[in-house]
Amino acid sequence: MGALLSIRDLRAGYGKLEILHGVSFTVEEGSITVLLGANGAGKTTLMRAIAGLIPVRDGVLSYCGEDLAPMPAHERVERGVTLSPEGRMVFASLTVLQNLRLGAISKRARAGAESRLASVLRRFPRLAERRRQSAGSLSGGEQQMLALGRALMAAPRLLLLDEPSLGLAPIMVKQIFAAIRELRSEGYSVLLAEQNAQLALEFADQGCVIENGALRLSGRGADLAASDELRKSYIGI
């Protein structure tokens, strides 16, 4: 395994406000990296900077040997960088199928979209059953599956999943995490923002803790889960 994404001294923010003050870490190919941090730590900001939704002010975002930083968001999508945003953001009035097809509008994703659609519907039978239903009528957990399915429709190589378990009942959280684990076994690389440190570190290969826009801790998932420092941090496990 080598580094798929290598972030060095990344600075980003909104307007005059700098939120990320020089963050550095790597995401290995075919692995799950979990990004931990309290509310407001900067997890979503980091995801947005990687996806190209906000500019990188300084630092390097090296992906497959290319610097993403100067690239607009759509070019990153063409390279397989796909964000599943916080809060799911499905189109409530469109059907499940329409939402999924919208995930495949990039040039990269158009080829093979129908077979990818079939595989998403096999992966999430609940979505298949409800494929003609409006996304707004799905339960929270089903909407999260839809958001994940839509991200898969983009033919990703690096999946950026921003708190996919937020607000879900424990049984749904387990299903979502099982799906993410399965994705890793199929070779996808995942960067997962999550607040539930214990749960996430159980299956993450690597973990990073962000605090006030800076990296506070990082290491192998299992080591981090056992570390006193993480225990002592406000995240607590």
Binding residues for ligand ATP, total number by CB under 6 A: 13
Nearest in space to 207 (alpha carbons), one of 187, 225, 231: 225
Residue 37: contacted member of ligand ATP, Mg ion, none (CB under 5 to 8 Å, by partner type): ligand ATP
> How many beta carbons lie within 10 A of that of residue 151, not counting itself?
22
Q: Residue 112 touches which of ligand ATP, Mg ion, none (CB < 5 to 8 A by kind)? A: none
Spatial distance between the Cα atoms of 140 and 138, rounded to a whole number of angstroms: 7
Q: Does 72 bind ligand ATP (CB under 6 A)?
A: no
Exactly one of 28, 86, 211, 223 binds Mg ion (CB under 5 A); which one? 86
Strand 3-14 vs strand 58-63: parallel, antiparallel, or unpaired?
Answer: antiparallel
Choices 86-94, 139-147, 178-186, 210-218; region in contact with Mg ion by CB under 5 A: 86-94
Using the structure block, give the residue that is written with the tokens 């607590």.
Answer: 236
Does 43 participate in binding ligand ATP (rule CB under 6 A)? yes
Contact status: 233 vs ligand ATP (CB under 6 A):
no
Integer distance in angstroms from the first to the last C-alpha of the chain? 29
Q: Count other C-beta atoms under 10 Å from residue 114's C-beta.
A: 11
3-state SS of the chain: helix, strand, coil percent to 5? 40, 30, 30
Here the tokens at position 97 are 């199928």
207 contact, one of Mg ion, ligand ATP, none, CB 5-8 Å limit per kind: none
Residue 152 binding partner per list ligand ATP, Mg ion, none, with a CB distance cut-off of 5 to 8 Å that depends on partner kind: none
Among 7, 10, 19, 61, binds ligand ATP (CB under 6 A): 19
Task: Name the site residues for ligand ATP (rule: CB under 6 A).
Answer: 14, 17, 19, 37, 39-45, 86, 195
